Structures are given as C-alpha cells and as structure tokens.
Structure 1
Amino acid sequence: MTLIFAVVALMAPAAVNWGWIQNPTEFLSNPIHDPPSWQHWFGTNRLGYDVFARTLVASRVAWQVVILATALSMVVGVPLGMLSGYLGGRMDRVLLFLMDAIYTLPGLLLSITLAFVVGKGVLNAAIALSISYVPQYYRVVRNHTVSVKTELFIEAARALGADPPTVLSRYLFLNVIQSVPVLFTLNAADAILVLGGLGFLGLGLPEEVPEWGHDLRQALEALPTGIWWTALFPGGTMTLMVVGLSFLGEGLNQFVNPKLRQGS
C-alpha cells in the first residue's frame, strides 16, 4: 500500500503535464460540487477543483513534507543521541532535560505554534513538524549508545587508540540505529496526520497548494448538504496512507527485533 502511494506521488506531476488528470489548481468552467462521474472520478469541490487531481497531487506534497520532516529530525536527533550517550556528563544531563521538556509538549500544539512562527511553505511545514520528533530519535539512540559503549569491542577500539569520532562512526553507529527505520515510518505516519491538522486549521502550506487537510476544511461546509465526496476521498486517502505506513513500521519492527516474532 505504501509503495502504491509512493508511485502515485512520483507520477502525479507527470500525469498533470501529460493531461492524464486535471490541473489541481485550475478552476473548471462550470462543474461546482458535481458528484463523481466518468469526467471527474472523485467529483469536484465548491471551488470547481477536480477532487481526483487534488487528491493525487496532495499525496506528493504529503510525501515531500513528511520525508523532509522525519529526515530533519533524524539528522538532528541521531548525532545528538550518540554524543550524549557516549560522552555523558553535563552535556548528557542538559540534553536530556531539553529533550524531555520538548517531549512532554503535545506534538500538534507544538507544530501549530511553530507554524505561526516560521510561516507557510513545504520546508517551513517540515521544520514545524520535525521539532517534536527530534527527542524520539535522541532518546532511542542515546539509550542504545549507553548500553553498547560498554561492550568489549568498544573498549578494545579505545585501547588501540581510536579517538571518539572514530569510535562513534565506525563502531557505534551501525550498532545503535537498528530502531531508527522503524521510528522513521511511525513518525511519517504521525506527520501525515499532523500535516492534515495544520492544513485543516489553515496553517502549514499555502492555500493554493493541494493538501488533504485544506480540502477537508473546505469539505466541512458542504457535508451538511449531502456533498460527501469532497470529504470522503481526501480523508480516505490520508487514512490509507497512515495505515500503510503504520503496518510498514510494524513489519520493520518485527524484522529488526526477531524476538517479537518468537513471542507471537
């Protein structure tokens, strides 16, 4: 399922350029709130946009923001976790306090606050989302580093004269990142929901950019009049993508931790 959404996201701009689907930002001449038909598979919304085109192109926008957000949080959280766990001392205590303080804040509330500060845009939305995920990478990697740094092969490397950068990059890194891909997929699923929440509130991305949260906000006004398709297709697609990423994360978790399969 996740692979299907990835392929759709890659192909969506080409499909628009080749005329396979409508331009998601182009007003249609007459159809407004037209139900699904052969001409408009998912119908049209109250602004005259083709819902099918917007739903497909929004998947690409979601992938862009989510991958950027999780990558930024990983790039910051993983090195900090390794340094904190390996060096310990005052640096470890300060970082633990800072990360715990961020971790206690609700992710959506923190993202909303940051979205007000950094403004709208793909990169800005990714930054707003990424801050709340940094402590998760930090805590996981730090705890692994604390347990691995006392292993005999680490002690042997230090005894042979390996400096801290060498120990961290050659001996610790590959041994402490097993859980990072699992965390990446789970954070990606959560980031899609948070991005949708920001869009629903009118934050995160500019209004003209196709995004599921924006479309759901527009659909909310039409639902009482029986216009169901403008909410069903964007909301259903977002739900399927979140479910697919969650299953992928669970599968990776069982692959990385074989004891989970044995326990089941």
Structure 2
Amino acid sequence: MKYLIVILALFIFNTVTAQDQLFIGLYTKKESGKSYWCSDMVMEKKIVKSDAEAFQAKKEFLAAHSNESPIAKIAKNSHIILYEFQKPMLGFGCSVKVISWKELDNRSKGNIRTLINNENQRIQKEYKSSIKEIFDWQYTGNTLEDFSSKVDGIEFTLKVAKNETTGLITTLAVIKNPLKDKSAQFIFILDGVPDKKPHIIQPNSTSQINLGKSTSIGVKLQLIPAGAVPEQSYVDWIKEKIRLDIIQNRNKQNTGNTPIWGVRG
C-alpha cells in the first residue's frame, strides 16, 4: 500500500510575505468648458499586496496622469479615511471638489474620529463647507494567500490568513476528489503532530476543513476503493512517528516564497 506525504514548505513563517496596502491616486481632471482651476479632483484606489506592487502602481499612475497634478499615496499598517469637500476658488468664480485624507498609524493611541472632526471644523470655518467621507480603510494585520497542488488526482487548496503582528497562521483546507472510483483518505500533520482522526473524501466530492493555527502543515494521503472504511493497518499508520524532515528542518532549507510539495513513498 502506497502512502504519500505532501510537505507544504509555504507554511514557514517568513515565506508568507503578502501585506495588504491601499494605493490612492488623486489628480485634477480638466473638464470641457471649465478652466483648469475650476476642475474637480478625481480619485483612483486599489488594494496592493506588497511594496513592489505598490511601487509599480504608483509609477504607472504618475506616468498616466503626469499633466494632471497627480498625487500618489500608499497607506500601510494604518487607518485612513478619505473625504471630499467643496473649496471656493477666489478670483475664478467657481468651487471645486477637493479630495484629501486623515491617517493614523495602527500603533498610535490616537482616535481618527477626532482628526476627522477637527478637520471638518477647520473646513467649515475656512471654506464654509463640510467634509463628506468617501472611503474608510484600515489594515487589519491579516493577509490572505491561496496555495494549490494536486497529488494523485486529489486537489488540495489552502486558504491561508496570517496575522503579521503575532505571526499566527489560520488555514482553511479545501480538498476536492474528482476521481470516480477512489476515495481520498488522509490525515493532516500540524506542526509535526498527526491529526487525531483520518478524513475521507468520497469520489466526486469536495470538503472544507478548518485547520486552525499552525506554523507548518503536511498531509499523508492514501487512495482507497470507494466506500471502503479505514483498515487497522491505516489506524496503526496514523499512530506511527511520522518523520517530517523538511518541516522540522524548515529553517535550514527552502527560504523562497514558492510552495514546495515533496512526495515520499
């Protein structure tokens, strides 16, 4: 009977490096029939997953709007509220929409609502206008990664959320068995410790399993005839001391960001 061990090197702490950031781009769009000084500001925004992606988004935005007074902003590890208000343009006989923001670092003990209220009072006094909040974003400390691989036709997808502050990882496993005549029988190994009971996915079925928090995960897989029940040999196998050298020595091996699925017979 053949057993497979799939090693997910992706669960090494420092290889999950995605970190949500908010890219904000502001520019003044010239409107037909209006002076440039009477044109409203326009906003673009999107979530980016890394410093490199943020840098690229900023570079592309500034190039695309180079003649429209562009402003690029990256919010990271913070709480930011974007707002707009009407600003009279003295001497031009018009008012324009201005977009701005207030931001507070997550480590700060301040209150962003206080910043917004104070800013609203200032704008009411100076421009006889009031702010309108248009977007509220806060970095939560969680990043989400999906990793997938296929072993003997069984599809494993892991939805991984990591708390950047604590380093803890929460994982939801989605297992799909597209085979017509074989059931997938397996156990997960969490931080080197086998799960307490085997899981069985019947043919043409999909199951979701919450694996909780761990720093490394492996899985030992066996294909059995459809409808079969675990044999005693399988129960004994579960109780064996499972050597997960790649996981146990994770700090001495692969340090890249690419998931590595090792198979041992």
TM-score, length-scaled by structure 1: 0.23
Q: Answer 1 or 2: which has greater helix percent.
A: 1
Answer with 1 or 2: which has the greater Rg: 2
